[in-house]
């Protein structure tokens, strides 16, 4: 794929507050990128800078080999969908979608064909003459998406487009949006605070924290190979421990020695291990075995999340692990049950603070 969008050393100041700090990344043509992070991390500011709705304090933005850093929004090649839909309440679905095409003085037949095409794509052909007040939230968001796509933009920007919808509609729409993006091949950047949205929709995730890019990579890499404690803790659920180096492949946590496969360089590190990698152990052949007591069980449907008070050498600490619901029932595991767990060496990852 060819590089379509390039953000270079972008900074943004609001008075003395710096919202973006030396932000650098590229987006390939046809790629679906999610900018993910907590409230206040700078993700929406970054999207607005790309759109020209905010001006960067320093830095450069190039789109399709053209420097767009100083161009106003109406001279940039993008369509945008906001969290609030921003449909015109006095216009029908058809007229909302065709609005941008009419301002570009497109031929009426061309407009009608494009509107019909987009309504078919988003599954709203039967709603062409309805007003926004007659549509559900999910239907309104589909209209907003069709309107953004109507001029065939080179770049689609999505600003938390699903956050105002209920869980079932969100789940359905995120699949629809991803399939539509893949079908059209439009380069897409979506801002979200929802980890599940980013993991299921993105080709690549850019994780932001306090105005900087914390980590970027595929959803699989961001989840399974976090580089910082923030990354590990923000994406999914994890266990984090301070660890002292014993050797290049062994560490000490709370006085207990554990083997690990990561190459340990620093004397003091932070380590992470995902709950699904904590295993119930009935075998002395397993490594890093500890005895613990079940303190809490959280029902999550097909899985149960256990909070295990583990007896390390110098103190106890809570380790979170995931059980299959069937395993819990078959082995009669309940609160205050004593169990052995294994913190497997391959699953212990060293991360930066």
Residue 128: how many CB atoms within 10 A of its CB? Answer: 14
What is the rounded average pLDDT for all residues in the chain?
Answer: 94
User: What sign does the dihedral 105-109-113-116 (CA atoms) show?
Assistant: positive
User: Tens digits of per-residue pLDDT, 267-301?
Assistant: 888 999 999 999 988 766 678 999 999 999 999 98
User: What distances in angstroms separate CA 175 from CA 154, 205, 314, one per listed residue?
Assistant: 21, 17, 48
Question: What does the buried/exposed string (b/e) look like for 262-275 if buried means 16 or more CB atoms within 10 Å of the residue's CB?
Answer: bebeeeebbbbbbb
Q: pLDDT at residue 1 above 80?
A: no
Residue 46: how many CB atoms within 10 A of its CB? Answer: 27
User: Tens digits of per-residue pLDDT, 88-143?
Assistant: 999 999 999 999 899 888 889 999 999 999 999 999 999 999 999 999 999 999 99
The domain segmentation of the chain, as residue ranges, is 3-229, 237-351
Work out the pLDDT band at 305, boundaries 50, 70, 90.
very high
Ramachandran class of 65: left when φ > 0, alpha when ψ lies in -120 to 50, beta otherwise: left
User: Tens digits of per-residue pLDDT, 202-228?
Assistant: 999 999 999 999 999 999 999 999 999
CB-count burial class (<10 Å; 0-12, 13-18, 19+) for 26: middle
Q: What kind of fold does domain 237-351 have according to CATH? A: OB fold (Dihydrolipoamide Acetyltransferase, E2P) (2.40.50)
Question: What 3-state DSSP class applies to 50?
Answer: helix
Question: What 3-state DSSP class applies to 71?
Answer: coil
Contacts of 107 (CB under 8 A, 6+ apart): none
**Is 309:295 a contact under the CB 8 Å cutoff?**
yes
CA distance 162 to 172: 10
Q: What is the reported pLDDT for 106?
A: 87
User: Tens digits of per-residue pLDDT, 6-31?
Assistant: 999 999 999 999 999 999 999 999 99
CA distance 202 to 11: 25
Q: What is the reported pLDDT for 104?
A: 87
The yes or no reply on domain 3-229 and CATH 3.40.50.300 is yes
Q: What is the reported pLDDT for 295?
A: 98
């Amino acid at each position: 794929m060819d590089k379509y969008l390039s953000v270079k050393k972008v900074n943004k100041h609001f008075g003395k507050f710096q919202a973006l700090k030396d932000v650098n990344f590229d987006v390939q043509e046809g790629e679906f990128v999610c900018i993910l992070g907590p409230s206040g991390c700078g993700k929406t500011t970054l999207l607005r800078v790309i759109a020209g709705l905010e001006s960067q304090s320093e830095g450069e933005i190039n789109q399709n080999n053209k420097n767009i850093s100083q161009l106003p929004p109406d001279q940039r090649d993008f369509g945008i969908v906001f969290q609030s839909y921003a449909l015109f309440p006095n216009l029908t679905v058809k007229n909302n979608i065709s609005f941008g095409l009419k301002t570009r003085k497109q031929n009426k037949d061309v407009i009608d064909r494009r509107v019909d095409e987009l309504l078919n794509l988003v599954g709203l052909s039967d709603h062409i003459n309805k007003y926004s007040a007659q549509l559900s939230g999910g239907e309104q968001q589909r209209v907003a998406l069709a309107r953004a796509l109507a001029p065939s933009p080179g770049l689609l920007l999505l600003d938390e487009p699903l956050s105002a919808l209920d869980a079932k509609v969100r789940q359905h729409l995120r699949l629809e949006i991803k399939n539509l993006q893949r079908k059209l091949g439009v380069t897409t950047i979506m801002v979200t605070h929802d980890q599940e949205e980013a993991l299921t929709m993105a080709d690549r995730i850019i994780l932001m924290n306090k105005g900087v890019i914390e980590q970027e990579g595929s959803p699989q890499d961001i989840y399974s190979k976090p580089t910082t404690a923030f990354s590990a803790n923000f994406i999914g659920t994890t266990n984090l421990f301070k660890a002292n180096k014993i050797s290049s492949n062994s560490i000490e946590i709370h006085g207990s020695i554990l083997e690990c496969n990561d190459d340990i360089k620093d004397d003091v590190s932070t380590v992470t291990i995902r709950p699904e990698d904590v295993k119930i152990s009935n075998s002395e052949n397993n490594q890093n075995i500890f005895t613990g007591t079940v303190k809490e069980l959280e029902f999550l449907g097909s899985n149960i999340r256990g909070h295990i008070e583990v007896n390390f050498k110098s103190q106890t600490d809570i380790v979170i692990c995931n059980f299959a619901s069937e395993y819990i029932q078959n082995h009669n595991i309940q609160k205050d049950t004593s169990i052995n767990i294994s913190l497997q060496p391959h699953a212990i990852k060293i991360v930066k603070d």
